[in-house]
Structure formats: C-alpha cells, structure tokens
Amino acid sequence: MIRPLNAALIAAIFIPSLAAAQNPPDSIVQDSVRLLGGITVSVARAAFTGGGSSTVVIDLDSLGSLPAPSMSDVLRAMPLIQIRMNSRGEMQPALRGAEDRQVAILMDGVPLTLGWDHRSDMSIIPLTAARSVTLVRGLSSVLYGPNTLGGVIEVDVARANARVGPVDPISLGVSVDGTGGTNVSLTGGHLMDSRERQWVFRGGGGFEDRRGVPIAGGALSNPDLRQQFLSEDALRLNSDARRVDGFFTTRYRADDGVWGSVSASGYDVQRGVPPEAHQDAPRLWRYPEQRRLIAAVSGGTGERVTGIGSGDLEASLGFDIGSTRIEQFTSETFQTIDATEDADDRVVTARLLGEHTLGDRADLRASATYADVSHDEVLSGAPVDEYRQRLWSLGVETEWRVGASGLTTLSLGGALDGADTPESSDKPALARVGDYGVRFGASSLVADGVMLHGGVSRRSRFPSLRELYSGALGRFLENPTLRPETLLGSEVGFTATGTSGEVQIVGFHHRLSDGIVRSTVTGADGVGRFQRVNQDEVRSFGLELLVARSFGSTTATGDLTLQEVQGFDGAGGSVELEYEPTVVGKFGLDVPLPAAIRGGGEVRYLGGQQCQNPESGGLQPLGASTMVDLSLRRLFRFGRSGPLSRVDARASLRNVTDAMVFDQCGLPQPGRLFQVQFRIW
C-alpha cells in the first residue's frame, strides 16, 4: 500500500481544463487546491512516498471541460514523463530512460500492461470514469506485482477505502476542433450516505470522432519525408479514429471501514495508423476493430485491531478481455488488403494485499499477485496460433519511523517473481524463469519544509509473448531466446515546500542488464527487418527538476529532465540507442485576465534524438524541437446551485507556431489546432 506523505496535484498550466476533484483521498494535502478567478484549479506540487520514491498525483473526478479524455491526454500534461506515438499508432510512455514495457499501468489494481505485448495503447484507454491518476517515477514498491521495474501509472476508478464527498448527479462535456473532430461525454452519479454506510453509483460514456489530425506546415516541405505517406486534404494520412466507451462503478464503505467496489469499463475503437513517412515501405495498417472490457472487483476489511496491533487486508480480482483486427494494405490508398491479423486476448489477475503494525513505529506489508495471459491469433486466415503466459509475484515490505521525533522513515522490501509460457503455438516454449527483487528507501524531514528522500532497487521484467514470438505481419523477426531484463536503479533528492510554492530536485542512475531493445537485421530473404535482442547493458543517469510557484493569482510551473542514456555490448563497446533525448522540459504560466477569464500558456522543449531505420540499416538523427500552446478559460454560473447550473468553457490553440515535432522518425505530432470545449454540470 503506497501512502504519499505529500501528494501533488498538477497545475492548470499542465492541464488548463482540469477541474479539482471533489473527493481527494485522505493522503492528499487539502491546501493544494485554490480558487483562482472563479475556477477551481490545482497547483502543481512535488510529492514522494514514505519509501523515498518520487511521485505525482492527479485527482480528477472530472477533467474540467475536457469531455472524454484518453490516458495519453492526461499523461502528456504530467511533468517528467514523455508520451510518444510508435509505428503501430500507439501512445507509449518513456521515463528516466525506461521504455514503455518497463512502466506498469494499473486500473483499479488490474494491470493493463500484463498481456500479449506487456504494454497498452494509452491513446484508446478512456479515463472518463477515472477519479485519480498516480505516477511513481522509477523505484516503485515491490508490492505492485511482476514486471514493475521502471515506474508505475495507477488509475483509481472505484476503490472505496475512504468516504467520498458530494457526487455530481449529471455532467455533460462537448469538444469541437478546427478539423471537425468532436468529443462528447455524459456521466452521472448518485450518493447514498448515512452514518453507518455509504454507497456511490457512477456511470456514463464517451464518444470521439476524429477525421484526422492537422499536419505541421514544415513537414510538407521536408525532403526527408515521403509526401505520399504524409498528408491527405491537409490532414495526416490515415490518422482518423472513432471511439465509443462506457463505464459503471459501485462503491460501498461501512462506518467500521469495511469496503468493496466493482468497476467495469470498455471501449470500441476503429482507427488508422499514420505511416512512417521516412521509409519507402512503412506500415500501411488499419484497425477496423479494437474492443476491450476491463473489470475489477475489490474489497477490504478496513483498519482492524488485533491482539498484536492493527492491520487490514484487501483483495482484488481483475478481468481484461479484448479483440483486435489488423488489416495491412498494399498501397497508401488503403483500398486493397494484403494481410490480416485477428486476435483475442484474455487476462485474469488476482491480488492479495495485507498490512499490519509492528509496534508504534513500524508497519509490515505483504502482497501476492498472479496473472494468466491468453492470446489466440489468426494470420491471414491460417490456423489459430494459441499462446499463454503465466506470471506471479510475492512481495513483502516493512517501513520504520526512526529517531526521537520519528521524522525519518526507512523502508526495506523484497520480492520473488516468476513466469512461464505453457502454450507457444508451434514455436519453442520459454521454460519457467524466476528472479528476485529488493528495494531500500528512506526519507527524512531535515528542516522546516525540507525533506530528503531516496532509495535503491533491483527488479526484473520477463519478455512478453509478442516480443518472443510475433513477426508483426512481416515487420519483425521472432526471437524466442530473449532473456529477462534486470534494472538496478537508485535515486536521491529533496523536496522544499514553502507558502508560495515548492521545488523538487531528484538525481537518478539506472543500470539495465540484458535490456530488450529493437535492432535492425537482414533476414534470409535479404530484406531488412527489426528484431528484439538483449542489449548487454543500458545505463542512464540524470537529474529531474519540478517547480511550482504562485505570485498572487498567477501560477508558474516547470519541469526539466537532463539525462544521458547509453547502451553497451558484450565487449564493453558503446552502442547508440533510439529515442533518448538528453534534455526534455516544460514551462507554463496561468494568469488572471479581465472578465474573470484565466489565460494559460505552455512551452515544451524536446532535445535531439536518434531512430532505427531498417531501410538504411542504422540510426538517423531527429533534431530538437519546441512547441507552444495557449488557452483561455472561464466559469459561468446560472442560479445559485443545482444540476447543470455551471459551465466551464475553454478555448485553446495547440502548437501555435505550427512546429514540426517528431514522436518517432517519420511520425510528426499534430500541427496547429484550434479547439473549443465545454463542460456543464
């Protein structure tokens, strides 16, 4: 159980449309929310856990005027994490040199990154139902389960370990952009509250229809980009998408602390995959079907007095069921289908977590996690290929408050992890493998408002079924000999809190052994393809800075990551890696304007990078880039109170300068886009 000592909320400059959550957890510092110009916004705060990990938290029973946000919409606004599109059209995170599969994503305890690919496309995961999102940077607790070595993104939908406040009976959100794209959400809730118990019911849905995203002006004249793969009618080729999502949640909490929750959310998506325009033969894919149902049943005893102290016990059962169809086309006209891939996925997870006091100054926590992954695949009408992987983890962690004042906290944890692949179609099965994890952390209040914190950790990640066995419709060569990768990480930093703001500085060092990376190889047919291989070692070190400062009603926020990431082969030689910029940062302002309007602006900088090009057989550079976003926002009230009596309106202009910013080689981010959003509740 992770308990932030001083949780952080993201400032309006990071999410200009973010409305403060009505029901923050008990661990959230209540004064982190301020009323600015009639709009309740949240001020960025640095955070850390008792174990010394650096943490950021967003509380969002609603996202202001943003109707049905995806996970990528939320995380792109968070500090110190990068979100970029890959060649499959998926939005993936990068953090402290850690790749997407090394960052775990959990929704109400259900691990969305344990599956066929051990990652999840954040652009199609709706957060219409989300109440909060927690980002643990780097050294997470050993209790999260297997494959959690490079950070954790945890989404809370319905877990009910605390009472909640008022619930909006109805909320309507609408968004329209300059391309004709629309986004609509409708949610509702009901609270039944008494002295003995509390019930909360919430439900709703969202709809997004996007014709495509605008193409940045510079891309149309870039000689390194194949124009036939780039644009169509001033929009990015094959960037259209349509999504329908819905959710229902029930929460119960008794006065004695017993609680239970049930949540179910699902989506149905149809979308295109923008081709990598730096190649002569990129992916020409469409997803005519991507469906997913995520459900979780959780419950706990609440704090109970025992003969040797007090403790609690909670359990959760998760179901993640989905189906996907990929169509590969012969040309950029997307008329003739060349190959298809149909897949059904089922992931069942179970988790048990317990906590008990050890005297007055210590706690003991333990967890057991099991995941069963099944993937059935049909390639272009061939017989079904069946795959299965099982993963498990046992973890124990203790935390001690030491010193006369008890203001210093030490934590120590250990875990045993394992995996096997009992079904691997006609390919070699991966034998049972196991490894251990350990973690030590510390935090100490050394002066008024100044906390030192840090830790060290060792954890392993087992390769996914897709990394071992998938050819991605001819784009990859399989490699069933992949070994687990192991991360040895450390971090140390301080957080200083004052009346007008906070600053956090954290230094980190990671050493990844047998890191699984993408390489360019030539197959037996003489065609260049990608293949995942174990890099002997990947080392990363760097510094993170997070700052928030208020000047009256004006708020300034900023974050900066300086890092050096380098690969090494078995002989100790240096190997350049993909998509590891040395400098990444954001700076923003939120200011009051006349007529009760709030003005927001943000500047984002992304340093130079490199990427693998299988057609040239090596790495090619990506230059540094800068993007500017602007927004105006105002709150309107009709009458004194009641449903549908408030309107949160926002107008924004993204990428004001129409800058060409690349997620990956050949994949520029959207160009200039005007957007108007309303939320009525």
Give residue-wise pLDDT tens across range 275-285: 999 989 899 99
pLDDT band at 461 (very low <50, low <70, confident <90, very high): very high
Phi and psi based region of residue 596 (left: phi greater than 0; alpha: psi -120 to 50; beta: remaining): left
Whether 122 maps to a domain, the answer reads yes
- Residue 509 contacts residue 467 (beta carbons within 8 Å): no
Work out the number of other CB atoms within 10 angstroms of the CB of residue 391: 23
Tokens 């998408």 map to which residue? 241
pLDDT attached to residue 160: 65
Whether 494 maps to a domain, the answer reads yes
pLDDT attached to residue 332: 94
Residue 288, strand partner residues: none
pLDDT attached to residue 176: 96
- Could you tell me the residue range of the domain that residue 228 belongs to? 30-680
Give the count of domains, the chain.
1
Whether 234 maps to a domain, the answer reads yes
Give the integer Cα–Cα distance in Å for 681 and 22.
13
Give the integer Cα–Cα distance in Å for 152 and 95.
10
CA dist 218 → 83, 188, 513, 530 (Å): 22, 44, 40, 29
Quickly list DSSP for 418-456.
EEEEEEETTSPPPPPEEEEEEEEEEEEEEETTEEEEEEE
Region 78-97: what's the mean pLDDT? 86
- Residue 514 contacts residue 555 (beta carbons within 8 Å): no
Whether 18 maps to a domain, the answer reads no
- Mean pLDDT is lowest, of 98-102, 234-238, 616-620, for 616-620
SS3 sequence, 621-634? EECCEEEEEEEEEE
Tokens 């239970």 map to which residue? 260
- Residue 562 contacts residue 55 (beta carbons within 8 Å): no
Mean residue pLDDT of the chain comes to 85
Q: Amino acid letter at 183?
A: N
Region 195-223: what's the mean pLDDT? 92
pLDDT attached to residue 59: 57
Instruction: Tell me the HSE value of 524 on the side-chain side, using a 13 A CA sphere.
Output: 2
Strand 408-424 and strand 625-637: the pairing is unpaired
Beta strands in 67-158 (DSSP E): 82-85, 91-94, 104-107, 110-111, 132-137, 151-156
Residue 348, strand partner residues: 319, 372
- Mean pLDDT is lowest, of 19-23, 182-186, 470-474, 571-575, for 19-23
Instruction: With a cut of 80, say whether residue 30 has pLDDT above it.
Output: no
Instruction: With a cut of 90, say whether residue 412 has pLDDT above it.
Output: yes
Residues 508-535 pLDDT 10s? 999 999 988 777 777 667 666 778 888 8
pLDDT attached to residue 47: 54
Give the integer Cα–Cα distance in Å for 290 and 270.
6
pLDDT attached to residue 124: 86
Instruction: With a cut of 90, say whether residue 339 has pLDDT above it.
Output: yes
Residues 267-276 pLDDT 10s? 999 999 999 9
- Mean pLDDT is lowest, of 14-18, 175-179, 544-548, 628-632, for 14-18
Region 354-359: what's the mean pLDDT? 95
Q: What is the pTM of this model?
A: 0.85
Q: Retrieve residue 148's tokens.
A: 């959690």
CA dist 496 → 43, 445, 450, 504, 588 (Å): 15, 10, 4, 6, 20
Whether 471 maps to a domain, the answer reads yes
Whether 42 maps to a domain, the answer reads yes
- Better pLDDT: 200 or 76: 200
Residues 422-433 pLDDT 10s? 999 988 888 889
pLDDT attached to residue 664: 87
Instruction: Tell me the HSE value of 154 on the side-chain side, using a 13 A CA sphere.
Output: 22
Region 537-546: what's the mean pLDDT? 92
By percentage, how much of the chain surpasses pLDDT 70? 89
579 Cβ contact partners less than 8 Å away, ≥ 6 residues apart: 84, 94, 609, 610, 611, 664
Whether 13 maps to a domain, the answer reads no
Whether 2 maps to a domain, the answer reads no
Instruction: With a cut of 70, say whether residue 33 has pLDDT above it.
Output: no
Query: Is 640 buried (19+), middle (13-18) or exposed (0-12) by CB count in 10 A?
Result: exposed
Instruction: With a cut of 70, say whether residue 576 has pLDDT above it.
Output: yes
Region 426-455: what's the mean pLDDT? 91
Region 209-220: what's the mean pLDDT? 92
Long-range contacts of residues 476-479, Cβ cutoff 8 Å, at least 24 apart: 476/529, 476/530, 476/531, 476/532, 477/521, 477/523, 477/529, 477/530, 477/531, 478/427, 478/531, 479/531, 479/532, 479/533
- Residue 554 contacts residue 590 (beta carbons within 8 Å): yes
What sign results for the dihedral spanned by CA atoms 55, 56, 60, 66?
A: negative
Q: Retrieve residue 618's tokens.
A: 């090596």
Q: The CATH number of the domain where 617 resides is what?
A: 2.40.170.20
Region 658-666: what's the mean pLDDT? 91
Q: What is the DSSP letter of 75?
A: H
Residue 610, strand partner residues: 621
